[in-house]
Amino acid sequence: MANNMIQAKNLIFSYPADSEPEKKQNNLILKNISLEIKKGSFTAILGHNGSGKSTLAKHMNAILIADEGKLFVDGLDSSQEENLFAIRQKAGMVFQNPDNQIVATIVEEDVAFAPENLGVPPEEIRKRVDNALKAVKMYEYRNHAPTQLSGGQKQRVAIAGVIAMQPDCIILDEPTAMLDPQGRQEVMEIILKLNQEQKITVILITHYMEEAALAERVVVIDNGQIILDDSPKKVFSQVDKMKKIGLDVPQVTELAWELNKAGYAISTEIITEQECLTALEKLLLER
C-alpha cells in the first residue's frame, strides 16, 4: 500500500432510494470496484454519463463514503471520520464548473481561501498563493476579479486554489467540459506540468479521448464496473468494445482502425497525430 496514493477495495455504493431493499439494489452506482493508483502517476477515467466515474472520484476525496468496501488515500481509511481533514489535504478536487469553486471577489484572495481555512500562517499563505498562481500562469491576474476572466482562466484559478493546499494528489472531474478548445489546451498543459514537474498524482475524469490519450493509464467504467484498465494505446485499440459502450476513441485511432479493417497494414495502437502521420507516410511509400 505504501506506493499507492489511492486504493479502492470492493467498493459498493448506491445513492439513497426508497427504504425497500430491492429498490436500493437497483440503484447501485458502484458495483464491487477495486483499483490501485500509484503515487506520481497520471490516470484518466472514462465512462459515459451515469457510468459511475464521477461517483468514484468523489470517493477519492471522501465526499462520498462507500456502503461496502474500503477506500484508502495514502493509507488513510476514508470511512474513518478522524481521517477526513488529512485526506482532503492530500487529495484536492477540481470540478467541472469553476464558478462553483470560486468564492472570493479577487483572484489571489480566492486562492488563499483554502490555506487560510487550514490554519496556514499568513507569510506561508502569501508564498503558496504566489507559487500556485505562477504554476498556472495566472500571477499577473492576481488582483483581478474572477468575473473578468475567461472560462479557461477561471478553471486555472480553481486549480491554483487546490495547488495552494499543497496536495499530493489532484482529482479533476471533467475540468475542461465547459471550455473552448483553447481553454481546454491551457488547462491540460497545466495538468501535465503538475504531474511531470511536481510529481503530483493526477486523476482526470474526462469525456475527451484526446485528453485521456495524454495519461499513462486509462480506466474505463461502464455500469458501475471497471471493464478496461491499461495504457491508452491498449485501451483505445479496442475500438469495437469502446463503441459498444457508447464511447469514442481519438480520431486518429479510429482512422487507423478503419484503414486496418480495409486491409492496410497499419497499427491500431495509434493515439497521436504524429504517430498517424508517420504511419500514413510509411503506407504511401510502400505502395
Percent of the chain with pLDDT over 70: 96
Confidence of residue 25 (pLDDT cuts 50, 70, 90): low
User: Whole-structure pTM over 0.85, yes or no?
Assistant: yes
Integer angstrom CA distances of residue 271 from 29, 81, 131, 192, 274: 30, 42, 34, 17, 9
The rounded distance, in Å, linking the Cα atoms of 114 and 249 is: 37
pLDDT (0 to 100) of residue 283: 87
Nearby residues of 12 by Cβ (< 8 Å), 6 or more positions away: 28, 30, 31, 32, 33, 66, 67, 68, 69
pLDDT surpasses 80 at 20: no
Judge whether 78 and 71 are in contact, CB under 8 Å. yes
Confidence of residue 125 (pLDDT cuts 50, 70, 90): very high
- Quick one: cell of 215? 495519461
pLDDT (0 to 100) of residue 206: 93
Report strand pairing: 68-73 vs 42-46: unpaired
pLDDT surpasses 60 at 54: yes
pLDDT (0 to 100) of residue 212: 95
Domains of the chain: 4-231 (3.40.50.300)
Judge whether 131 and 108 are in contact, CB under 8 Å. no
Average pLDDT over every residue of 267-279:
91
pLDDT (0 to 100) of residue 21: 54
Average pLDDT over every residue of 75-98:
93
User: Which phi-psi region, left, alpha or beta, contains residue 190 (left: φ > 0; alpha: ψ -120 to 50)?
Assistant: alpha
The rounded distance, in Å, linking the Cα atoms of 210 and 75 is: 32
Report strand pairing: 42-46 vs 217-222: parallel
The rounded distance, in Å, linking the Cα atoms of 64 and 58 is: 6
The closest alpha carbon to 162, from 137, 141, 133, belongs to: 133
Confidence of residue 221 (pLDDT cuts 50, 70, 90): very high
pLDDT tens digits along 137-194: 999 999 999 999 999 999 999 999 999 999 999 999 999 888 888 888 988 999 999 9
Report strand pairing: 225-230 vs 28-38: unpaired
Average pLDDT over every residue of 216-224:
96
pLDDT surpasses 70 at 1: no
